[in-house]
């Protein structure tokens, strides 16, 4: 019952940003297999710090 409600109603009404843009490093829960050093460097560069 919950699966059907979630799949066909909840996620249609409230889309998950991490599923729409899985390449974004803001969502650390889906960074499995990524190099953490690269992620940290990209975050620092994006914020304009050195």
* HSE (side-chain half, CA atoms, 13 Å) at 47: 9
Q: Which residues of 22-44 are buried (b: 16+ CB within 10 A; e: fewer)?
A: eeeeeeeeeeeeeeeeeeeeeee
Q: Please tell me whether residue 14 adopts helix, strand or coil conformation.
A: coil
Residues 6-48: tens digit of each pLDDT: 888 888 888 877 777 766 666 666 556 666 677 777 888 888 7
Q: Residue 43: its pLDDT value, please?
A: 81
| pTM, two decimal places | 0.34
């Amino acid at each position: 019952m919950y699966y059907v409600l979630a799949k066909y109603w909840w996620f249609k009404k409230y889309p998950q940003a991490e599923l729409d843009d899985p390449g974004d490093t803001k969502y650390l829960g889906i960074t499995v297999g990524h190099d953490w050093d690269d992620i940290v460097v990209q975050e620092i560069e994006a914020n304009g710090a050195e």
